[in-house]
Structure 1
Amino acid sequence: MQLEHPSVKTIGQTDNPAARRVQYGSLIGLLAILGCYFLIEHRGNGVAWTWMERYTVVPAMLFLGATLSGRITRQAGRHLIFGVVFLAWFAATKALHRIEGVEASNIGTFFCAYGMCLPFACASGDGERGQGLKWILSLYLGLGVLLVLYGLMLLGGLVPGFLQDSVHWDGTRFSAMSHPNICATLLMISIGISLMCWGKWKKLWQRVLLILWIGAQFGILALTNARTTTVFTCVLLGGGLFCALRKSGWKRFAVACLAAVVLMGGLFVGSQRLSKAHKANMEDSRTVGEIHSTQYGWGSDIRNLNNRTEIWSSAAKGLRDNPRIFLEGTEYSGLIISQYNSFQVYHAHNSWFQVLYDMGVPGLLLALVLTAVAVYDALVVFWHNPDPVKSVSAILVLCILGCSALEPYLFGTYVSNQPIQFLFLLLTGYLDCWRAELKKRI
C-alpha cells in the first residue's frame, strides 16, 4: 500500500477545527443575509438590498482569513488564485471608473461571490462531507416554497398591502424577486433541488408528494412566461428522468433518452398552454390598456430571441465606437447600448457580453475560463456519477449557464442576480471537487 506524505492533505481532512468552524459560520452568515433578502427584498426602504450590497463582504473576509490560516490543498489553491485574480481585475476596473468620476457599487457581492462561494467546497473540505451543501440547498428549496405561496396568493387576490409592490402581475406575467425572469430562474433552481430530493428519498409517498410539489412549482414558473427558463427547466426535468432511468446496456440507455425527450416535449407544450390560457383569462378580466407586454408571438420571438438579437447588435456597435471599453469596461453599459437600440435597455442581456462591458477583455477571458471549467466538470459528473444530488447539480449548472446566455445572471454585480450567481459558483466549486474524485476512480 502506498503511503502519502504527512503534508499531503485530502479533501476530507482538516488540521484546524477552529478554522473549519469559521468557514461554516461564514457560510451560515451568507445564507442568513440571503434569507433576509428573499423575505424582505425591496421592502423596508431597501434594507435587505443594502445588506446584500454592503455586508456580504463580511462573511467572505472571515472565510478567507480562516482558509489562509491553515494548509490549503492544491485544488483549493487553484480556486482561490482564480478568485483573487478575478477580484483584482474587478478592483482595478472599479478604481479606473472611480478616477473617471463614476461611483462604484455592489463591490461586496462580487467579493463574496469569488472570494468565498467559488472556493468554499474545496477550501472547507465540504466537497466530500456535503454538510454546507445541504444548508445551501435547503435555503433555495425554501425560496421555492415562498415563491409558490406568492403565486397562489396573487392568483387568489390575497396579496397583502405590504407585498403588493414586490408581488404583482407584470402585464400578464407573475413577478416576484424584482423581475419575472429572475423569479422563473429561482423557481428552476428550486425544482432542481426537489429533483435531488426525489432521487434520495425512496419511500413511495415521499416521491409522490415531491412529484406534486415539482408540478406546483412548474405551474407557477409557467405563469412568469419566461420562455428561455421554461425551456431549460424542461431540459432539467428531462435530464433528471434520464438519470433515474439510465442503466448499462444500449436498450436501457435508449429508453431513458426517449422518456426524457417525451417528458421535455410534454412539459413545454403544457407550460405554453397554461401560459396562454392565463393570458387570455387576464385579458378578459382587464382592459387592453391595463396590460403591457414586451413579448410577442413565438414566431417573432424565436427569430429575434425576444429582441435579444437587436440588443446584441447594438452592444456590438457600442463596443465599436467606444474601444476603450475593451480594456477597462464601463459603468454605463445600458446608456451606451440604448443609443443604438430602438428602445431603452439597462444591460446587454447576455452574461458574457455584459462582463465585457463591465470589465473589458480581461474580465471576459476570466469568465470564459470559468465557463469552460463549469461545463467540463458538469459533463463529467453528469455522465459518470449515478448519485442524484451530483448528477442533477451538474444539469442545473448547465441550465443556469443556458439561461445566462439571454440574461446577465453571472460574472456581474447586479444585486438582484446575486442569488443565482452565488448558487452557480457554489455548485461549480462542488462539481470541481466531485470531478477530481471521479478522476481518481475512472
Structure 2
Amino acid sequence: MARRSARSTPDLIPAAGSDALRPLAERMRPRELDEMVGQRRLLAQGSALRRAVESGHVHSMILWGPPGCGKTTLALLLAHYADAEFRAISAVLSGLPDVRVVLAEAGERFAQGRRTVLFVDEVHRFNKAQQDAFLPHIERGSILFVGATTENPSFELNSALLSRCRVHVMEAVSAQDIAVALERALQDDERGLGGHGLRVNAEALAQIAGAADGDVRRGLTLLEIAAELAGDERGEITEATLVQVLADRTRRFDKGGEQFYDQISALHKSVRSSNPDAALYWFARMLDGGCDPIYLARRLTRMATEDIGLADPRAQTMAVEAWDTYERLGSPEGDLALAQLVIYLASTAKSNAAYVAFNEAKRDVREHGTQEVPLHLRNAPTKLMKQLGYAKGYQYDHDAEGGVALDQTGFPDAMGERVYYRPVDRGLEIKLKDKLDRLRSERKSRRPKG
C-alpha cells in the first residue's frame, strides 16, 4: 500500500456527494495545522508538540480542554502527519467489548507495519478497568493513544494511564480567533458558504463569535443557522436574524465538573479578598449556568462562618436569613437576597480566627486522647461525689472580682493552658482581642511557676 506524504491533504472528509448532509463545522474541520485557530501556546511555530506532529514522531497523550477547542481535530491531524490509521471511540457510547475489538484491529494493523491513532472521546467516563485495557497496547506501541477530556485528568484518570501519556492543556478559543474561522467559512467556496452570496458585516460576525463562548464548533453552527435564516433576508445576516439565532444561547457550565468547582472557588476567594464586584460576577455566572441557588446559599453561609466569623457575627445571621428568603420566594425574586448577601460578605470585616481555633482544638483532642476532666470542673450532685473531691476548689466566676475567676484552669491537668483563639485587629474582634489579651495575661501571671 502506497504511503501518502505527511504534507498532503489528509483524508478527513467523506466524498463530496455527502457534503450537503454534513454540518458546516464538520466540513470546515482544519486539514492542516496552520488552519487551526487558537492554541497558540501549544501549537506555536517551533513548539515541542508542533515539531513532533510535523515530523510524525508523536506520542500517546491526553488532550484536556473545553468543548470545541480542537481536541478531535488535533487527533485527526496527528494521524495524518504520522501516516497512521485513525480510529475513534466514545466513552459515552462504547463499552469494554467495543474497546477490545478496536484494539485487536490495531494489533493486526501493527503487525503489518502500520500504526493506529486511537482517539477516545470523553475518556474520563471510562472506569478504571476500561482505562487499564489500553495500557499494554500503549506500551507495545501498537496504538498512539489520544484521550480527550473536559475534566481534570488528575481526578478522573488513573495514575497508570497518566504515567504513559503526556497531558496537553488546550484553552478555550478567543472570540477573535473564532471570528477568523467564521470569516474563512464565509469565503470558502468548496467546503464553506462562499458560494451562497451571504452578506454579513464585521459587527454581526463578532456577535456570533462572542456567542460561541470559546467553542469554534458552536460558532460555525450558529453561522450556519444564521445563513439559513438569511435566505428570508435576501442573503443578508441582519440584526433581526441574529436576535433569532442568539436568543437562547447559554454559557459553558458543567454542574458536576471542573468548571463548576473552579467557579465556586473563584466566588469564595473573591469574597475572602473583599472584592464584592468580582464576587457578584462569579455568583451571577454560576446562576446563569444553572447552579442550584440552594447550593450557593449553603456555600455562602459557610463563607460567613469560615472567613468572616466573629469579626462580624451579623454575617452568619444574614446568611441564614438570605437562605430562608430564597426558599420562601424562589427564583428570580429570591436571587436578589443571595446577591445582597454576596455583596455584604465580601464588603465586611474578615477573620478566620474561630476557624483556625476550632481546627487546633480538634488536633489537640486527637493528639492527647481521653483526658480526665479536672475535679474542680466536675459537677457534684451527690454526697459521694463531694467526698471524692468533685467540684472542690471551684470558683464561681460571677462572684469573683471582674466576673472572671483567674486562678483556675479550664484544661485537663496534663495539658496545661492552651491558646487557640487569636482574634484579629478587624471588626468586632478588635474588642474581643483587647479583652482576651488582658485576661490571658492576668491568668498567666497568677499561674504557679513550674
* TM-score normalised by structure 1 residue count: 0.25
Rg: which structure is higher? 2
- Which structure features the higher share of strand residues? 2
Higher relative contact order (CA 8 A, sep 6+): 1
* TM-score normalised by structure 2 residue count: 0.25
- Which structure features the higher share of helix residues? 1
